[in-house]
Amino acid sequence: MWTVPTAETANAVLPSVADHPYAPFIRTFTLDRFREVGKCQELLAQLPQSDLLPTQLGLLRAFEECKAPNLFRVQHLAIVRMDVIEYDVRLTAPRYHDQPSGILPLARNLLATSPYSPLARGLTVNSDWNTASKHADDWEMTAQHPQLLLHLGERYILLGRFDDAARCIERAIAISPEFKAYTLLADAYRNAKKMDQWQAALDRYLALNPPGLEPARVRVMIANELMRRKEWQKAKPYADAAAATGADWAMQCACACHEGLGEWEESEEWIRRSTERYETSYIRWFMWCKRTAHGDLAAATKVVTDRFQDVSQIAAPIDLQQMGFFYTLTGKPEQAMWAFKAWHKAEPTGDVSSLMLLLAHDENEEWELRDKILKNFPEGNGKSPLQWLPGLYRESLARGEKAKLDLVAADKQLAASPDKFQPVCAYFVGRFLEQHNQKADAIRYYRRCVDAPEVANGTEQ
């Protein structure tokens, strides 16, 4: 999904494609696909589905982004029209990157029709190692295409055979020195706990001075690792060079780096640019000002309120979430409650929306409404990293409103949570503690949230 406005360009193009069968698809770029989903669905329904192919990635992505009612039928029609040839498989396989079972039939069929294809062999390495392992040495020795060597490198990393991985990837680099090869080589060294060689591999790529945004991505990788070690000054040149591209994620990295250095004006400049350039980032500057107690809070607040006015008639769940946070932080509990209720109505099965509304009722001592949400808390698929929190609340409340939360159980669950979810889990523990007069403990959990690497590096505001 685009994070910069596309309407102007799409409107300029439309007259030249007005009679084309795919003109409705172009018109979706004049809308906000995130917030005007219904209108986008109407346009996509006008497209001729008899011509859909698996290679039309942009078109298929539009059906996914707009949650088209006929999405599964469209995907099925595209897949059944796929030919088992290199071109079709090359474009289709990335859709199953994390699903070896989806790649397996593609690999087997392509290998059967084209046994010397580096793509067929590479996908077999990816999805069917039992078969590929019998040929791995021969395939590596005769490989003339970097793709097969990179697949072998990925497999050897998974197997913990880091020297074998590095050997295959270095051969791939000798054939084609590309972003994926160098980052995969760095990944091999990271997994082998050879961090000096990890950075050296990435610096080798940067020394090539390649075009595009890939160099910025590499610089952000290095900067984030250095910031994780609190080596802010070493991270600074990488972060600033990446941010100069104007990429949102790169400017956030530079913001975090200058914040770590205590260079507040520079940090604010990068978060301001990010907020003003990217519509999806409109609350970040405000959140930065509130979190750091620095910056032009009035200007950042105006950006948020102006954006709320722009989306007032087409607010998406993410906007309702931001409204709830914003009104909470600006001391407007009634508006915050309205936003959290609207958000929960839009996403009744959402863990975060349920938890935020639950805690809002708890704060207002609306205990019946709180307990109703607790009783009916969405079970999801049972795998959500937040599913343990309602049980923790229930256990405490069963012993009375003033009973203390079981912090031993909370710490155990936090430790078992995936790293990227630990900050938000710590926040929800701290929030409950604060509202139940356990402020010293609450501060400890809030601190765990704020000090998490994801928050310190600006990736979790």
pLDDT of residue 74: 84
Domain boundary among 261, 281, 312: 312
Q: Hey, is 111 helix, strand or coil?
A: helix
The pLDDT, as a whole number, for residue 458 is 46
In a domain, 28, yes or no: yes
Residues spanned by the domain of 69:
1-81
- Specify if 364 maps to a domain: yes
Q: Are residues 299 and 251 in the same domain?
A: yes
Are 296 and 392 in a shared domain?
no
- Interval 170-194: pLDDT, tens: 999 999 999 999 999 999 999 999 9
pLDDT, position 461: 47
Based on the structure, what is the number of domains in the chain?
Answer: 3
Is 160 contained in some domain?
no
Residues 401-425 pLDDT 10s:
888 999 999 999 999 998 889 999 9
The verdict on 279 and 399 lying in the same domain is: no
Q: With bands split at pLDDT 50, 70 and 90, how would you rate the model's confidence at 76?
A: confident
- 30 pLDDT higher than 80: yes
277 lies in the same domain as 332: no
Give the Cα-Cα-Cα angle 32, 38, 41 (nearest 5 degrees): 95
Mark whether 296 and 328 lie in a shared domain. no
Task: Tell which wins on pLDDT, 44 or 100.
Answer: 44
DSSP state of 49: G
Domain-located, residue 290: yes
Two structure tokens written together for 355: 């938890």
Question: Residue 3 has what pLDDT?
Answer: 64
Is a pLDDT exceeding 60 seen at residue 454? Answer: no
One-character DSSP codes across 260-286: HTT-HHHHHHHHHHHHHH-GGGTTHHH
We report the CATH number of the domain holding residue 425 as: 1.25.40
What is the CA angle 147-148-150, rounded to 5? 65
If asked whether residues 259 and 270 sit together in one domain, one would say yes
pTM: 0.83
167 occurs within a structural domain: no
What CA–CA distance (Å, rounded) separates 370 from 341? Answer: 12
Exposed e or buried b per residue across 361-395, where buried means at least 16 C-beta atoms within 10 angstroms of its C-beta? bbbeeeeeebbebbeebbeeeeeebbbbbbebbee
Q: Is residue 110 part of a domain?
A: no
Q: CA–CA separation, 40 vs 25, rounded Å?
A: 8
> Does residue 279 lie in a domain region?
yes
Cα–Cα distance between 25 and 37 in angstroms, integer?
Answer: 13
Residue 246 lies in a domain: yes
Instruction: Give residue 336's pLDDT band: very low, low, confident or very high (50, 70, 90).
Output: very high
- At 381 the pLDDT is 46
What CATH number is attached to the domain comprising 256?
Answer: 1.25.40.10
CB 216 within 8 A of CB 250: yes
d(CA 391, CA 397): 10
- Rounded to whole angstroms, the maximal C-alpha distance in the chain is 71
Which residue matches tokens 């590499």?
218
363 and 378 part of one domain: yes
DSSP secondary structure of 177-217: --HHHHHHHHHHHHHTT-HHHHHHHHHHHHHT--SSSHHHH
**Any idea which of 68-72, 263-267, 359-363 has the lowest mean pLDDT?**
68-72
Q: What is the mean pLDDT of residues 197-221?
A: 97
The token pair that represents 457 in the structure block: 């590096």
pLDDT value at 455 more than 60 = no
Considering the domain architecture, whether residues 271 and 334 belong to the same structural domain is answered as: no
Same domain, 338 and 255: no
